[in-house]
Structure 1
Amino acid sequence: MAPRVLISDKLSPAAVQIFKDRGIEVDFQPDLGKDKDRLAEIIGQYDGLAIRSATKVTPKILQKADRLKVIGRAGIGVDNVDLPAATAKGVIVMNTPFGNSITTAEHAIAMMFALAREIPAADASTQAGKWEKNRFMGVEVTAKTLGIIGCGNIGSIVAERGVGLKMKVIAFDPFLSVERALDLGVEKVELDDLLARADFITLHTPLTEKTKNILSAQNIAKTKKGVRIINCARGGLVDEAALRAALDSKHVAGAAFDVFAVEPAEQNPLFGHPNVVCTPHLGAATNEAQENVALQVAEQMSDYLLTGAISNAVNFPSITAEEAPKLKPFIELAEKLGSFAGQLTDTDIKTVHIVYEGAVADQKVKALTSAAVAGLLRPMLSEVNVVSAPTVAKERGIVIEETTRAATGDYDSLITVTVVTDTLERAISGTVFADGRPRIVNIKGINVDAEFAPSMIYVTNEDKPGFIGRFAGLLGDAGLNIATFALGRDHLGGDAIALVAVDGTVPAEVLGKVQALPQVKAARALVF
């Protein structure tokens, strides 16, 4: 029997044709996504569901989706799909991460020109019959410095366009390699250097804990007087109130925003300022982009339903149904080891070396490596997933090395993730015991035995008496309950580590007090 796909949002007719050409039965109901009850009624008849943003795939709908194997989202964001519920149901969720890239990059360039030449205000003035020729004195972009924060897929397209416009392009991106920067014709710089030098700043980074308010009041104050700021990436990357104050004081000459901290943006601190250009999240709004993502999602879903091939899945790597049960706990281990390393690494990653020892070496290590790299990159790049991670790493010039070998130590299976930067090399090892739960067994050569927990504190300290009492007392005073407490040291009186699971998140002030303890070298709050 041919697979059946339901399209419940407005998708290009060309996508419908792709399904038909591949021998897949397709039911095109572009307004059905707005009717949750009706969707829940009929979803049980389909193997695939193709959506855009109007359809909300809730646990209630998934509960009735007995035949469903794949959900395809034409676009990047999958906020409208309940991922944990889809994963629990065994449904692959795919997106189309690259279909909007050129369109979004072009919108950023268009916003830069609109800002440089005050086009929206000049248009409004002229159409009102004012002819204020002397009022709108713009600036050229040629020979100006364009600062790009985030030089991934979209940022690199903006960089190429900036070079073509004869601009001096500088980029801040911890994952951008020097070689990749050379290929693009851009200069890789630190954030403070970019802020001090750029005439135009454009943001092209996802919104994560590390990038939220990356243009804070403090960082906006570091910018060159007369800078112009463009955000077509994500609301929340810029402190909008601080930017308004900088615009009012004329430190910032202008701003062009397509995205806002709260959307739909019916009111915003930036609105009403004469030197601000705003559009209603139009980054992906071109006919070509909508066509591209529709065609891409139809091809991906068809491939999966007909051959089992998985592309751009956000909730599972490309592995077969037979391999999944054995591989799943090791995928979780690899991802968490990567996440551990990623949360501890602030500088550019050059190489990631992953060693698989024992029984795990006979499994599908490519899927495990993808999981480890996804975990490593996610603290900076929230949208990275186990499928896209190797490509994202390659784009940024990060070398990924894999080694498999027979068991040499105390464990049947051992995974070691080593991260190499210009200044350090850090190795973290883990295993899966018979209970199926991943554990950390070695950090930087120091043996330790700890399960991963949602909230943890990692401390490196000198092995001297009194530390544990002070540390535990400090957490107690702060009302933080300790769930588990793992310790290790290299030798008596040498370097030691503590890995503590706590209930609830760790406040910044508590972490600051831990770092201030006499024997402590470093302390980090980790989230898994």
Structure 2
Amino acid sequence: MKILANDGIDPLGKSLLEKAGFTVDTEHIPQDQLAEKLPAYDAITVRSATKVRKELIDGCPDLKLIGRGGVGMDNIDVAYARSKGIAVVNTPAASSLSVAELVFAHLLSGVRFLYDSQRKMPVEGDTNFGGLKKAYAKGVELRGKTLGIVGIGRIGRETAKVGLGLGMDVIVSDLSEAPASLPVTLSGGITVDVPIKQVPLEELLRNSDFISLHVPFTDKPVIGAAEFELLKPGVGLVNAARGGVIDEEALIAALNAGKVAFAGLDVFDNEPTPRKELLTHPKVSLTPHIGAATGEAQERIGEELANLIIAQLTK
């Protein structure tokens, strides 16, 4: 069988598939050429860049499997594919820690103004060193602050564990029941159960010093204009989930008004062309959707995806 790894796959995953007898093609086919070329393959693996919609599925009657390297599958018409007998698999656990660590990269950047300092030091550092030092003199520590996590799935839990390890108080909001505590693994393999508290979303919004979002996009933002009114003045927000989870217009207004001290964004409404107002905003820490972009996560994703494909297609 032939597999198109259209958005790439870690060498470990490719090796496992080839040892199982599959041919793996890692040359990227642009979206506008997929309808013509995908029928030559038995399966396709994607990340967030490639979309597998109804029209593409209809043009590939022999397609047996769609694999998503990562968590969210909003770039795949999952239900329709499955209705056609196509297996759809993803790797929800493999990238959780890498995404959680990126959340804290944004949080630590925010509380110490690194997002702005990295822009201004190369330009003004030799002429306005004292002025910049004064401008960044009001940093805060994360320890002892309240971290609100919206969505306590795998990534939300890993984010909570990192926060607990830093000594933060963690509150969570989720439609499902959250655990009362989470195991935090310390150096040396020591594991300690640390309590967390589940609260309604409104309570989380009112009481969190920092908020991290870990939910899929549905029909409307989780934090829109009305929700921004509930937030503590000076709150920090991080979105490493999906574009659209935060209303970007309302976020810009809240940043400009000082209601939100800073935002860390890894995802955007209009990927891959985010709005300039966010890209150039002095209070926004930016990354280009790289939550799972670590060597460790990619290896785990490749291995898990390969094993899922082998299990599905060698039954």
If the TM-score is normalised by the length of the shorter chain, which range does it land in? 0.7 to 0.9
Residues 141/31 of structure 1: CA separation in 2 closer, same or farther (3 Å cut): same
Equivalent in the alignment of 2:9: 11
Q: Would you say the 8 A contact 2:148–2:208 is kept in 1?
A: yes
Asked if structure 2 preserves the Cα contact closer than 8 Å seen for 1:198 and 1:227, the reply is: yes
Q: Which residue of 2 aligns with 1:176?
A: 177
Preserved contact between residue 17 and residue 24 of structure 2 (Cα < 8 Å): no
Give the alignment of 1:160-199 within 5 angstroms: 160-177=161-178, 179-180=180-181, 184-199=194-209
What displacement does 1:26 show?
1.3
Tell me what 2:22 maps to.
25
Q: Name the residue aligned to 2:156.
A: 155
Pick from 114, 121, 125 the counterpart of residue 126 of structure 1: 121
Q: In the alignment, which residue of structure 2 is the partner of 1:216?
A: 224
Q: What residue is the counterpart of 2:44 in the other structure?
A: 49
Q: Which residue of 2 aligns with 1:440?
A: none
User: What is the CA–CA distance in structure 2 between the aligned matches of 1:194 and 1:243, rounded to whole Å?
Assistant: 17
Identity among equivalent positions (%) equals 35
Q: How far 1:12 sits from its partner (Å)?
A: 1.9
Give SS of 2:148's match: strand
Matches within 5 A, 1:300-319: 300-307=308-315
Written as runs of structure 1 = structure 2, the 5 A alignment for 1:39-438 is 39-40=37-38, 42-43=40-41, 46=42, 48-57=43-52, 62-63=57-58, 65=60, 67-83=62-78, 85-128=80-123, 129=125, 130-131=128-129, 132-137=132-137, 138-177=139-178, 179-180=180-181, 184-209=194-219, 212-307=220-315
CA distance in structure 1 between the partners assigned to 2:261 and 2:26 by the alignment = 48
In structure 2, C-alpha distance between the alignment counterparts of 1:221 and 1:54, rounded to whole Å: 34
Aligned-partner Cα distance in 2 for 1:190–1:37: 45
Describe the shift of the 1:214–1:73 C-alpha distance in structure 2 as closer, same or farther (beyond 3 A).
closer
User: Alpha-carbon deviations, 1:21-63, whole Å to 9, x = none?
Assistant: 23x23142422455325514523xx3x3333345544556545
Name the stretch that deviates more: 72-81 or 133-142.
72-81
AA in 2 matched with 1:74:
G
Is the partner of 1:134 in helix, strand or coil?
helix
Q: Distance in 2 between matches of 1:100 and 1:81?
A: 19
Q: Which amino acid aligns with 1:20?
A: E
The one-letter amino acid paired with 2:164 is V
Q: Contact 1:39–1:61 at 8 Å: present in 2 too?
A: no
CA contact (8 A) 1:145 1:197 kept: yes
Q: Deviations over 1:351-403 (max 9, x none)?
A: xxxxxxxxxxxxxxxxxxxxxxxxxxxxxxxxxxxxxxxxxxxxxxxxxxxxx
* Alpha-carbon shift at residue 269 of structure 1 (Å): 4.3
Give the Cα–Cα distance (whole angstroms) in 2 for the partners of residues 206 and 57 of structure 1: 18
- Which of the pair has more CA radius of gyration? 1
Query: 2: CA distance between counterparts of 1:90 and 1:305?
Result: 12
Matched residue count: 298
Conservation of the 8 A alpha-carbon contact between 2:161 and 2:182: no
> Which runs of structure 2 are paired with 1:468-479 in the superposition (5 Å)?
none
> Matches of residues 490-501 of structure 1 in structure 2 within 5 Å?
none
Counterpart amino acid of residue 285 in structure 1: A
Contact 1:227 1:254 survives alignment (8 Å): yes
1:76-127, CA deviations, whole angstroms, 9 ceiling, x for partnerless residues?
A: 3334444455334322121222222111111111100010001121122222
2 CA distance for matches of 1:112 and 1:152? 20
Which protein is richer in helix relative to its size?
2
Deviations 1:234-272 (A, max 9, x none): 222222222222222222222211122222244254343
Structure 2: gaps of 5 or more residues = 184-192
**Shift, 1:280, TM fit:** 1.7
> Who is 1:487 aligned against?
none
Q: Helix, strand or coil for the counterpart of 1:174?
A: coil
Alignment-mate amino acid for residue 18 of structure 1: L
Higher relative contact order (CA 8 A, sep 6+): 2
Distance change (3 Å), C-alpha of 1:147 and 1:85? closer
- Please, which runs of 5 or more residues in structure 1 have no aligned partner? 308-528
Q: Return the letter of the residue paired with 1:233.
A: A
Supply the AA of the counterpart residue of 1:136: Y
Please provide the CA RMSD for this pair: 2.5
User: What secondary structure is seen at the aligned counterpart in 1 of 2:211?
Assistant: strand
Contact kept? 1:11, 1:30, Cα under 8 Å: no
Are the aligned partners of 1:16 and 1:28 in contact in 2 as well (CA < 8 Å)? no
Report the residue type matching 1:31 in the other structure.
H
Calculate the TM-score normalised by the size of structure 1: 0.52
